[in-house]
A and B are shown apart, each in its own frame.
Chain A
Amino acid sequence: MEARIRARVTLALTLFALLFFVSRSSPPRQFVISDAKRRIDLSSHIINVHLTLKVENAGTRPASEVVLALTPTEVDHLAMVDALAIKGKRKKTTSVRLEVKPTELPDAPPIDAKYFTIYLANPLNSGESTTLEVLYVFTHFLEPFPEEIAQSESQLVFYHDTALILSPYHIKQQTTFIKTPSTKVESFIRVEPTNRVGTEIKYGPYEDRPPYSISPIHVHFENNSPFAVVEELVQEIEISHWGNIQVTEHYTVVHAGARHKGVFSRVDYQSRQFSNGASSFRHLLARLPPRVHSVYYRDEIGNISSSHLRTNSLKNGRRSIALCVLNARCIDYSIANVVSSFMIMHLHLNVAFAIIPVEASRSWKLSHVILYLEVVLPEGSTDPSPVVPFPVEHRLEAKYSSLDVVGRTVVVLEKKIFVPMHNSHFQSQTLELKILEIGFDENNHLRCLSFVDSLPDTIVPAKIFSLLMLSRQTHIKTIYQLCRMLFLHRWCLVERATFFNLVSFNLPPLWQVYYTFKPIFMLAEPLMLASAFFMFFVACVAYIHIDLSIRK
């Protein structure tokens, strides 16, 4: 509560400050935004803001750095920001991803705003214009109000924003669309012209607004989507060069929406599902890679009833395993602070060194407050270096398991505020690879796959060695790579048709860890086993030959 008030006060102060300093501000005035469209999607607790900016260089010199401004509260909840440059017109548009970096403006007005700079691929000459698409993703931005609701009530939330886009540039024309999940809107502030049709509230168009102009609004509306938040996800990937990859995931799941108050009635909850506990999450879903085995799942005290392991066949006969987790757990209904740590383990993929399934699809959007990815490298591996598509913190740890002597290196990657879009926003990237060999096993599974090694590492950091290749000793390098291939079925769409052909497909973003590993260390495990048997044999022989009787 207090935090909220403080946040509001800060926001208000910020806005006042902004208003106050509007006239004095002097950011790089080279650009003018001729048209700005903002679409805010409030249908879940992860807020997507699509900003389409038509940027015009009004200065004299060519410039390539477009600055975006955000309020500090927004920045606190910002999960990610991404920008695309749109080229071409109408149907023939192509988009190019642009680099976005947080910056400090040295000549910025002393107002409370944080800045991001978009680096255009080609400098914009004087008088030219280009279209930019910016995606912001915010989490934990909707405030439930009231904070506690009874079982039969639906969840109402507040959304705070400004009707005018905060920008260091002059905006000639701007419109904001706010999309609410349902038509039930308790209240919203009008800043004329404002129009509400169905689930959409339209602010604008507003003409010719100076830089840093704002106009605070709030929308109080019904949002019954479950606010599923993974407070902490620790995903441990243990690699064995004998062909096993063991993935263990520990989830701490919380409902971040309004808390439950008073009586919980099972009768009502089960018989009247729509009016009761509408915002509770009744189940979560985890998709596992197709070839997992030995799956287990449990919560802290071993509860499993809430979960089912389903094997459903997809289009092309490939089986994927869906794990429905936390079904019953969440009945404690929307709101109660349900914390549950959860482990999923899936094992074994025949493709030697693959797979980091960092969350990809749950039934709904799950946002992660913090995500730890622990890659446990086999004993004896050295020089680990992670390559991740977005900035993360990383550190090294050591782990001892199964009779280890020197310990295993663990690369811990830590990412704060992780949202599903982190997995998807790279998909527009198209890669072209030449497939050399493809093999199938009897279950129509992709068995081996190899690529021409000539692709530049910057584009395709992942080389997927097949077992076949491995046995031929052709591609064994000292560098083994991890690549992320959560949905292998996407690959199989192209397998047959494009045998020996150049194919293009979308590749999900790759989290990789490069490390050096001498294959000789692979012998450590069988040696240990062999020596254990040998010891046993020696013991047997000793037992037979040595007189163990207690005689003088």
Chain B
Amino acid sequence: MAAPETSTAAVPTLYTNNTLRNAFGGVLSFFILLLIGVLAFSIRLFSVIKYESVIHEFDPYFNYRVTQFLTKKGIYEFWNWFDDRTWYPLGRVIGGTVYPGLTLTAGTIWWLLNSLNIPLSVETVCVFTAPIFSAFASWATYLLTKEVKGAGAGLTAAVLLAMVPSYISRSVAGSYDNEAVAIFALIFTFYLYLKTLNTGSLFYATLNSLAYFYMVCSWGGYTFIINLIPMHVLLCIVTGRYSSRLYIAYAPLVVLGTLLAALVPVVGFNAVMTSEHFASFLVFIIIHVVAFVYYIKGILSPKMFKVAVTLVVTVGMAVCCAVIAVLIALVASSPTKGWSGRSLSLLDPTYASKYIPIIASVSEHQPPTWPSYFMDINVLAFLVPAGIIACFLPLSDASSFIVLYIATSVYFSGVMVRLMLVLAPAACITSGIALSEAFDVLTRSIKFQLPGVTSNAEVDAGETSSDTSEAQTDELKAEKPDDTSKNRPSKKSKKKERELAENPPAKATAKAKAKAEKKRLLALPLEASVISLLLLVVLGAFYVVHSVWAAAEAYSAPSIVLTTRSRDGLHVFDDFREAYAWLSHNTDVNDKVASWWDYGYQTTAMANRTVIVDNNTWNNTHIATVGTAMSSPERAAWEIFHSLDVKYVLVVFGGLIGYPSDDINKFLWMVRIGGGVFPHIKEPDYLRDGQYRIDSQATPTMLNCLMYKLSYYRFVETDGKAFDRVRRTEIGKKYFKLTHFEEVFTTHHWMVRIYKLKPLKNRIRGKAKKSKSKTSSTSSSKRSGTKKKNPWHENERRREVCYSNNCSDSFSAFLSSKPEIEFDYAGYVR
């Protein structure tokens, strides 16, 4: 901060000394950044080391499949890809409904490596994309924080971000999801925005809109950017901080950014037509008005200006009213008022659970609990307030942006667990600032009071304020000088000059006075500062320990492979892949497999079979149909499945080994979602006195529904009692037979069970014989034939209606569910 002062005031020898220090600081911070990158990358490798190099969970499998397609068929095929393997019989236009950023990134990396003759498989590249981008993200954090509070804070923030558990949870190796790339894009866009704001350079403004474009490509969360930046601009204008730099930072972003965003097929005209983007346009108008006003103000005399203002305000009000009326009319004409369900649920947290059970059914769309804050951002939660205070001392354009960022992201994270991910960078930045400032103050007060240093304290006083020495990582505990790199002072001074030109000189002197005062105040007692320094180090150490634990234990499980430690070493449950491999080896390529939507992506990616519904829950009715089938009695379910041309039904069952997130535990959601569209499915029918149970107290509807039967078919023969280890009870109905389904495969630990629909032909022959023997008219069989189809036809009409107003939002980014409860090993005894 005070670097320009020293550079002008200091003697030449001191100056050379300073440049040397700066250069040394630059090299040091470069190596520290390198190490931070290594740290960010390697802390995410626990999943590979503990498990294997494998794609995780649900959504990543879809992304992986898309990437495979891209690398195999090329970019043009990719844009035109109509996928007939999902949402049978509707299909899905992948090219137009997917955020292509991640796929294109991984595809490019793969192509680059292969053209360098480094033959890596697509899978390997996909697995390691997330860790690589988290290293990038931590570097971007450094840059962003450096813009706000200098390099020291930047390095601290980068370290914090490199291992913040919230971000780790979404970017461990193998978690090949949009967020992994998007967080980097988010931070980098913010950095470029602040950089433009600080420099006023059109070059950075252009880069900013390119970064924004990348963000739009990567994640639906780009709306956060396009709303946060206008908010900040508005804040600046309202607080009287309007400058030409602000204009340059904002106007090109809106124009270029919107144009570029419209290039992404999944966004397209949404970039100008949905209300998520309206704020930016409104602020765009406002900033022009303000700019115009400032211009006029410069030209006219104060008296004339007053006249002009009254004139413009009257005319402008009229115009504005008209425009706003038109806008409101436009917005009101769209069914969801121009807001997608997801965004509405952001504004109104109860919206989703009230109206869209599919959104509500995903655990990560629930509001978070306090422990989850502690789990995900740990000690940062305590450091954030300190960081916000530090942002106000002094408040600059950049630091006000950070304050706004943290405020909004705290609100959003309170709405949805998932958005904790957006909070994490903000928390890291503010905590980084807080820590860095604290170290700054403490080390300076130690330095002032140490004997022997006092002689040149005066010289240092000016310099050390920029010398934000602080313990970097707490293991390092190395004090190192700030890297005020060479170009920095000049730029700062430029800025200062500009500020001086703009502001009256009185303000500058006041500022200097305040600074001097602060310096005096900041000299704490030696003992106190040493102790608090130690305490801070302990706090940091606690954070590191927690992060490593979280990375190693909590967030590394790929959920497709489960492990447990038994007496004779590691035991692996690989039933999912066993089942998918069975499907791919033993069924026809064109067979359709029905399962609950959670397993849709995996089935298409690993078994290469057509599924009815998948994790891209774009069609509520379709999911409701499967839900209805699962909660219907066998016969009705068979009819529904048969009408959908389904050949195999796949259920996940954890009762034998105690795997809690199985289909029986998800079953109530199937009932709810199914009942939402087909009213003959009623939730109370499945509950006994409001309780969900599968033991002998369960309702007959529950005990006769397809899901129950498929899960527990011949389960009693395993231990003789049919004790369900997840529900910790004996099941209600133990001995029963399946009439319309037959078991074709059950995996080793019974986690996945696959049933085949018995063919129609045999059944009819039996019926025909019977009717013949009865000598009743053949019309009865005919009638039964038509009857059989009837319930479905009734539903058909309803379905069509529902198709039209399905929640057409693409939830692909949002709907990967992470089981909240970790796998329960205790139940498994073998």
Give A contacts to B, CB under 8 Å: 262-267, 271, 298-306, 328-329, 331-332, 336-340, 400-405, 540, 543-544, 547-551
Contact of A305 among B117, B204, B606, B748 (CB under 8 A): B748
Option from A298, A337, A551 in Cβ contact (under 8 Å) with B487: A551
> A301 near B580 (CB under 8 angstroms)?
yes
Are B117's CB and A403's CB within 8 A? yes
**Contact yes or no, A304 B52, CB < 8 A:** yes
Per the bound structure, the CA–CA distance linking A336 and B587 in Å amounts to: 10
Chain B residues within 8 Å of A543, by CB: 30
Of all chain A residues, the one with the shortest Cβ separation from B53 is A302
B712-735: CB near A (< 8 Å → 1, else 0) gives: 001001100000000000000000
How far does the alpha carbon of A298 sit from the alpha carbon of B121 in the complex, in Å? Answer: 14
Q: List 21 A-B contacts (CB under 8 A).
A: A262-B742, A263-B742, A263-B743, A264-B743, A264-B746, A301-B577, A304-B561, A304-B572, A305-B575, A305-B748, A306-B578, A328-B748, A332-B745, A337-B586, A338-B585, A400-B119, A402-B117, A402-B118, A544-B30, A548-B487, A549-B490
CB within 8 Å of A: which of B32-67? 52, 54
Nearest to A301 among chain B residues (CB) is: B606
Would A403 and B714 be within 8 Å (CB), given that A305-B561, A540-B30 are in contact?
A: no
A544/B586 in contact, CB under 8 A: no
> Which partner residue on chain B sits nearest A338 by CB separation?
B585
Instruction: Tell whether, in the assembled complex, residue A302 and residue B745 are in contact, meaning their CB atoms are under 8 Å apart.
Output: no
Q: Are A401 and B486 in contact (CB under 8 A)?
A: no
A304-B743 contact in complex given A338-B585, A402-B117, A550-B201, C-beta closer than 8 Å:
no
* Contact status A401-B119, CB under 8 Å: yes
Chain B residues lying within 8 Å of A301, measured Cβ to Cβ, are 577, 580-581, 584, 606
Contact at B744–A264, with CB atoms within 8 Å? yes
Chain B neighbourhood of A404, CB < 8 A: 117
Tell me whether B203 is interfacial, beta carbon within 8 Å.
Answer: yes
User: Which among B30, B584, B586 has the highest number of chain A CB atoms within 10 Å?
Assistant: B586
- Give chain A residues whose Cβ lies under 8 Å from the Cβ of B573: 305
Instruction: Provide the main secondary structure of the chain A interface.
Output: loop
Q: Can you name the residue of chain A whose Cβ is closest to the Cβ of B714?
A: A267
Q: Which residue in A331, A340, A403 is a CB contact (below 8 Å) of B116?
A: A403
Residue of A266, A337, A547 near B585 (CB, 8 A) is A337
B69 at the interface (CB under 8 A from A): no
Please, which residues of chain B bring their CB within 8 A of the CB of A265?
Answer: 714, 743, 746
A303 engages B581 (CB within 8 Å): yes
- The complex places the Cα of A304 from the Cα of B54 at a distance, in Å, of 11
Which A residues touch B117, using CB under 8 A? 400-405
10 extra A-B contacts, CB within 8 A, seeds A332-B585, A336-B586: A263-B744, A267-B717, A302-B577, A303-B574, A304-B572, A305-B574, A332-B582, A338-B585, A401-B118, A544-B26
Q: Does B27 contact A (CB under 8 A)?
A: yes
Set of chain B residues within 8 Å of A338, measured between Cβ atoms:
585-586
Q: Which of B119, B487, B714, B718 contacts A549 (CB 8 A)?
A: B487
6 closest Cβ contacts across the A-B interface?
Answer: A305-B574, A549-B487, A266-B746, A303-B577, A400-B117, A305-B572
CB distance from B764 to the nearest CB of A (A): 19
B281 contacts partner chain A, Cβ-Cβ < 8 Å: no
Q: Are B577 and A544 in contact (CB under 8 A)?
A: no
Identify the closest chain A residue to B119 (Cβ). A401
A376 CB, min distance to chain B CBs, angstroms: 12
| B241 at interface by CB-CB < 8 Å | no
Instruction: Name the residue of chain A whose CB is nearest to the CB of B580.
Output: A301
User: Is B511 interfacial (CB 8 A cutoff)?
Assistant: no
B585 touches A336 (CB 8 A): yes
B491 interface residue (CB < 8 Å to A): yes
Judge whether A547 and B486 touch: CB under 8 Å: yes
Residues of A within 8 Å of B30, CB to CB, are: 540, 543-544
B381 at the binding interface (Cβ < 8 Å): no
What separation, in Å, do the CA atoms of A469 and B575 have in the docked complex? Answer: 50
Sort chain B's interface into a size bin.
35 or more
CB neighbours (8 Å) of A544 from chain B are 23, 26-27, 30
Contact flags B182-222 to A (C-beta < 8 A → 1, else 0): 00000000000000000001011000000000000000000
Q: Are B750 and A328 in contact (CB under 8 A)?
A: no
B556-595, CB under 8 A of A: which get 1 and which 0? 0000010000000000111101101110111000000000
Q: In the complex the two chains form, what is the Cα distance from A271 to B748 in whole Å? A: 12
Output the least CB separation between A390 and chain B (Å).
32
B9-38 CB mask vs A (1 if < 8 Å, else 0) is 000000000000001001100100000000
B581 engages A299 (CB within 8 Å): yes
Residues of A close to B742: CB separation below 8 A: 262-263
Q: Return the chain A residue nearest B574 by Cβ.
A: A305
A549 / chain B contacts, CB cutoff of 8 Å: 487, 490-491
B580 partner residues in chain A, CB cutoff 8 A: 301
Q: B4 CB to closest chain A CB, in angstroms?
A: 16
Taking CB atoms, residues of chain A closer than 8 Å to B487 are 547-549, 551
A400 to B26, CA, bound (A): 40
Question: Nearest-CB distance from B555 to chain A (Å)?
Answer: 20
**Distance in Å from the Cβ of B704 to the closest Cβ of chain A?**
21
Give the residue of A264, A305, A402, A405 whose beta carbon is less than 8 angstroms from that of B578. A305
Nearest-neighbour CB distance to chain B for A310, whole angstroms, equals 11
Residues on A with C-beta less than 8 A from B116 are 403
- The answer to whether A267 touches B718 (Cβ under 8 A) is yes
Q: Which residues of A contact B747 (CB under 8 A)?
A: 266, 328
Q: Within 8 Å CB of A306, what residues of B?
A: 574, 578
Which of B201, B572, B573: most chain A Cβ within 10 A? B572
Chain A residues positioned under 8 Å from B572 (CB to CB): 304-305
Chain B residues near A271 (CB-CB < 8 A): 717
Q: How distant is A335 from chain B, measured CB to nearest CB, in Å? A: 10
A299-B581, A332-B586, A547-B486 known; A304-B717 Cβ under 8 A: no
Interface centre among B30, B116, B582 (most CB of A within 10 A): B582
Mark interface residues in B117-144 (1 if CB within 8 Å of A CB, else 0): 1110001000000000000000000000
Residues of B within 8 A of A328 (CB): 574, 578, 747-748
In the assembled complex, the CB of A218 is this many whole angstroms from the nearest CB of chain B, namely 31
Query: In the complex, which residue of chain B has the Cβ closest to the Cβ of A299?
Result: B581
In the complex, chain A residues whose CB is within 8 Å of the CB of B123: 302
List chain A residues, Cβ under 8 A from B577.
299, 301-303, 305
Task: Tell me which of B52, B118, B573, B745 has the highest count of chain A C-beta atoms within 10 A of its own C-beta.
Answer: B745
Q: Please name the residue on chain A nearest to B23 by beta carbon.
A: A544
Given contacts A267-B717, A331-B748, contact A300 B743 (CB under 8 A): no
Taken together as a complex, chains A and B put the C-alpha atoms of A161 and B318 apart, in Å, by 103
Q: Interface code B484-500, partner A: CB below 8 Å = 1, 0 otherwise?
A: 00110011000000000
Residue of B nearest to A403 (CB): B117
Q: Within the complex, what minimum Cβ distance (angstroms) separates B10 from chain A?
A: 21
A406 to chain B, nearest CB (A): 10
CB distance from A268 to the nearest CB of B (A): 8
Nearest chain A residue, comparing its CB with the CB of B488: A549
Q: Are A303 and B585 in touch, CB under 8 angstroms?
A: no
Q: Mark B279-308, 1 if CB is under 8 A from A, else 0.
A: 000000000000000000000000000000
In the complex the two chains form, is B118's CB within 8 Å of A302's CB?
A: no
Contact A340 B203 (CB under 8 A): no
Cα-based distance from A306 to B582 in the complex (angstroms): 13
Smallest Cβ-Cβ distance to A551: which chain B residue: B487
Name the B residues within 8 Å of A264 (CB-CB).
743-746
In the complex, the chain B residue whose C-beta lies closest to that of A549 is B487
CA distance A263 to B586 in the complex (A): 13
Q: How close is A95's CB to chain B, nearest CB, in angstroms?
A: 44
Give the nearest-CB partner of B572 in chain A. A305
Which residues of A are found within 8 Å of B585, using beta-carbon distances? 332, 336-340
B646 to chain A, nearest CB (A): 18
Residue of A nearest to B115 (CB): A400
CB distance from A281 to the nearest CB of B (A): 14
Q: How far is the CB of A267 from chain B (nearest CB, A)?
A: 5
Contact with A along B167-178 (1 / 0, CB 8 A): 000000000000
Residues of A within 8 A of B748 (CB): 266, 305, 328, 331
Bound Cα distance from A549 to B54, whole angstroms = 42
- Chain B positions 156-172 with a Cβ under 8 Å from a chain A Cβ: none
